Amino acid sequence: MKRRMQQGFTLIELMIVVAIIGILAAIALPAYQDYTLRARATEGLTATTGAKQAATEAIVSDAGILATTCANVLAPTATKWMASAAVNAATCVIQAVTSANAGSVTFVLTPTYIAPTSTTAGAVNWACASGGSKYAPRTCP
């Protein structure tokens, strides 16, 4: 009599595969959630770009940060991921707060004016601080 060859997978093999998929899902889902919160917080920070550009132009044209340099700089409007934003008229510091769905991160952007030399024009460096939030981008500790 001919023996029949085994076909398919055994129950234990299927259980091992399901267990491996379960372990991978348990690791991947929290990492993915952190990734999405970080992306949303970064989008909130990106919304400040227009205010940074306007403040930079005002600082360079005034050759420094004066008491009223940023009085006409408009704060970024709230977006889906950014709850609020403000521009300090006296110091030109921009503060943006992301929504709870974006990790509730507070970004503080501080300008530093670099005076022109004989070979360079005036410039502004922006320092970013987020209070060490784990959802802030790496460029803004």
For residues 111 and 65, the answer to whether their CB atoms sit within 8 Å is yes
What pLDDT score does 37 carry?
92
Residue 97 buriedness (CB in 10 A; 0-12 / 13-18 / 19+): middle
What pLDDT score does 118 carry?
82
What pLDDT score does 6 carry?
67
Q: What is the pLDDT of residues 44-101, one digit of tens each?
A: 889 999 999 999 999 998 888 888 889 999 998 888 899 999 999 999 999 999 999 9
- Cα–Cα distances in angstroms (integers) from residue 64 to residues 4, 56, 122, 128, in the given order: 88, 10, 9, 19
Q: Round the average pLDDT of the chain to a whole number and report it.
A: 90
